[in-house]
Structure 1
Amino acid sequence: MRIIIVGAGLGGLCAAFGFARKGHHVRVLEQRPDLSPAGGALNIRPGASKILHSWGLGPDLRRVSADTPANVFRNLATGEVATRAIATEISEYPDWGTSRSVLIEIFYQKAKDAGAVITFNAPVTNVEDDAHAAYVTLSSSSGERLEADLVLAADGIRSLIRDQILRETGQPIDPIITDVTLYGVSLTKEEMENHPGLAPLMDQSYLNIYMSDGGLVHVTSRYNTTSGSYAALFGVKGSTDQRGLWDEKGDIGYVREMFKGACPEIRTALDHAMQPSAAQGFSLIVEDIGVLEHLISQASDPSANVKTITSFWQDIRKARCPFLKWAQGTDAIAEAEKYLKGSRSRL
């Protein structure tokens, strides 16, 4: 199939590799001049790590990820442990913690090696389709128009083409923004060693959650022993909007004020730069891509069955998101196979 992906972020590059490795003709269009990878920690849940293992990425990810054998809940004011939640053996595949920026670099290189064409400085102004194909128009002086069998929108929370794809559904299409803003901090091993006050954080290879009494603020943090780096997300509950979730620098003074009652090591971590972040569900994205690729692989002529494939895809995946089954290691591909067996329409 000819597949165009709009956006070279983590989701777009993951999709590019997932499809290119199966021999599809993949082109990624990114409006930025380069990757511009943002930092920030994220988890790869077992359901997603199973799919990534099947793509042959296990060794690459293990080099930059740390296992999550337990979650440790701490008192934000004192840093003392309140309780530990030991992970149960719900899956043979790992529950990993790693870095967004590192993953972007891995998927970028893997996608290129698999044959995907990634074009920067290529903003998309319009997408449309007819009975024969889908079309993408670039905002260059020539107004180049590209044709594909399938167009995937992976241009993020500020998507310019979401409305063009979903406008006929009659449903609200703006992202639903929570009342918690997350500010990310990333530190290298060397930076931490230069601040004695951060030493307690280097002993925290588990996922640590610091909770305040009133629930107004919290911190999720861990030290990645594999990569020798520390990452934390400082959550502040309060009104927010959709403007400024990704690129603007965080108001460090505001965050320090909100966490002035925190234990010393957490306050010391706030001596470093940060940026607002939205902790998107990367594991759900991997499952989405894995299921779509599986459905395409089951069709004898996928280019002629795009509407059926995407309809099945929506039926399978839309019901999954509200229940967050990904946290329990659900097998997304097995769910897709079960759906196909129970469907009257065959691909």
Structure 2
Amino acid sequence: MKINVIGAGIGGLSAALSLLAAGFDVRVYERATALSEVGAGIQLSPNATRVLHGLGLEKELALTAVKPLAFHQRRWDDGRTLQRAPLGEPVEARFGFPYYHMHRADLLAVLAGALPAERLHFGHRLTGITDRGDRVSAHFAGHADADADVLIGADGIHSPVRAALFGPEEPRFTGCVAYRGLVPADRVRHLPLEVTVDAWLGPGRHFVHYFVSGGRVLNFVAVIEQDAWTHESWTDRGDPADALAAFDGWHPQVREILRAVDETFVWALFDRAPLHRWSRGRVTLLGDACHAMLPFMAQGAAQAIEDGATLAACLAGAGADPAGALRRYETRRLGRTARLQAMSAANKTRFHLPDGPDQRDRDAGLAAGATGWSFDAIAWLYEHQAG
């Protein structure tokens, strides 16, 4: 079976590797002329690393990945611990695979390096698709059509494949904007930083930081609530002074990290309502193209990686009915991804509670391990075996 994947992000590349491992003839088409990623970190939980290790990428990932010791939720002003959930060796012992922090560019390099170069085509901007019943054609600006038995849209929140299947629909602004940046670790050596993921929760905003790139760089994301935004982009430059002003009065450690950065990028957070279906005929979607979610469960990339593994398993048993396999794939994935979309959206409210009774109830729940990232609360997510 020949399969074309539109989009060479984390979801598209990992899906291509899962499909290639299952024996399919896979090609990936990317509109950009080269792989690139503006500085940003990513969290990979055991449900994702289980898939990536299964693809034989364990050694390559370990070269730049950081294993955090804990997930540490803290109060915004005094730094008081609200919850500290172990990661590192305890999470690996419990769930069988590690929890990693990585730079997105490092992960993309590992995925692309594992895919034979002749299967990855840059500079291909999709202009349309045609499902002919027995095959599906992808049309590109300035390039010949590419025919296949199945086409997969892994082309992000503004997916042209999704628009071709179900019509145009604008993603919805969630009322949050994120400043993100990278700080050389040497600049923050004077701070008492552990190898953890720290999430500082406060009224109307929160701040997350963790090490990436083998511990050489500190990644941060500073999320604030904002009334309006006109477009979604990963690459709009922000002013570090604006981010610092937004966290006026916060704990000195938060403000010292913000003072240490040279440049920030401002990222408006968009999502979409869950779809009732992802597939039509020989075409389907994965990742942000079908279940874009807020990053407040750190599961966007992980769910795209799960998508690819599940899709490969379903197609492996397709026989002469690839359309039926795509329906089975979406059936297996719809409920799980919709649940995580809803949980991610709920965390926006939970993370940003103003000081008061609701905030005190949240903090009591965190201390009791009843919510958030305790092992018992998160087992359903981390134990999952995609397929």
Normalising by structure 1, report the TM-score.
Answer: 0.82
- Report what 2:165 is aligned to: 165
Query: Partner letter of residue 183 of structure 1?
Result: Y
- Report what 1:211 is aligned to: 201
Residue 253 of structure 1: CA displacement? 3.5
State the SS of the aligned residue for 1:226. helix
- Report what 1:305 is aligned to: 321
Cα 1:91–1:80, aligned 2, differ >3 Å: closer, same or farther?
same
CA contact (8 A) 2:103 2:213 kept: no
- Report what 1:343 is aligned to: none
CA deviations on 1:217-276 (whole Å, 9 max, x unpaired) are 111111348342211111111234461331211243432221122223322322321113
Partner Cα separation in structure 2 for residue 101 and residue 139 of structure 1: 27
- Report what 1:98 is aligned to: 102
CA contact (8 A) 1:284 1:326 kept: no
Partner Cα separation in structure 2 for residue 309 and residue 105 of structure 1: 30
- Report what 2:366 is aligned to: none
CA deviations on 1:68-124 (whole Å, 9 max, x unpaired) are 442112222233434423357541222222221110111111112xx6521222111
How many pairs does the alignment contain?
315
CA deviations on 1:131-171 (whole Å, 9 max, x unpaired) are 1111111111xx5211011111122122233210223xxxx
State the SS of the aligned residue for 2:316. helix
1:254 is aligned to 2:273: no
CA contact (8 A) 2:64 2:213 kept: no
Residue 191 of structure 1: CA displacement? 4.3
CA contact (8 A) 1:48 1:286 kept: yes
Query: Partner letter of residue 204 of structure 1?
Result: E
Partner Cα separation in structure 1 for residue 246 and residue 253 of structure 2: 15
Partner Cα separation in structure 2 for residue 238 and residue 95 of structure 1: 31
- Report what 1:233 is aligned to: 221
1:139 is aligned to 2:141: yes
**Runs of 4+ deviating beyond 4 Å:** 87-90
Of 174, 181, 185, 1:189 maps to: 185
Partner Cα separation in structure 2 for residue 293 and residue 83 of structure 1: 38
CA contact (8 A) 2:106 2:213 kept: no
CA deviations on 1:185-220 (whole Å, 9 max, x unpaired) are 112334445xx4xx33xx3211111112x2x11111
- Report what 2:381 is aligned to: 328
CA contact (8 A) 1:128 1:164 kept: no
Point out where structure 2 has 5 or more consecutive residues left out of the alignment.
270-294, 341-377
Partner Cα separation in structure 2 for residue 326 and residue 133 of structure 1: 40
1:314 is aligned to 2:310: no
CA contact (8 A) 2:183 2:218 kept: yes
Give the percent of matched residue pairs that are identical in Structure 1 and Structure 2.
22
Residue 47 of structure 1: CA displacement? 1.2
Cα 1:327–1:104, aligned 2, differ >3 Å: closer, same or farther?
farther
Query: Partner letter of residue 287 of structure 1?
Result: E
State the SS of the aligned residue for 1:157. coil
Map 1:1-347 onto structure 2 (within 5 A): 1-87=1-87, 89=91, 90-112=94-116, 117-140=119-142, 144-167=144-167, 173-193=169-189, 196=190, 199-200=191-192, 203-212=193-202, 214=203, 216-224=204-212, 226-241=214-229, 243-271=231-259, 272=261, 273-277=263-267, 279=295, 281-299=300-318, 301=319, 304-324=320-340, 328-333=381-386, 336=387
Point out where structure 1 has 5 or more consecutive residues left out of the alignment.
337-347
CA contact (8 A) 2:102 2:213 kept: no
CA deviations on 1:26-79 (whole Å, 9 max, x unpaired) are 222211121122221111111111111111112222222222442112222233
Residue 286 of structure 1: CA displacement? 0.8
> 40-49 or 216-225, which moves further after superposition?
216-225
Partner Cα separation in structure 2 for residue 192 and residue 327 of structure 1: 36
Cα 1:79–1:58, aligned 2, differ >3 Å: closer, same or farther?
same
Cα 1:57–1:36, aligned 2, differ >3 Å: closer, same or farther?
same
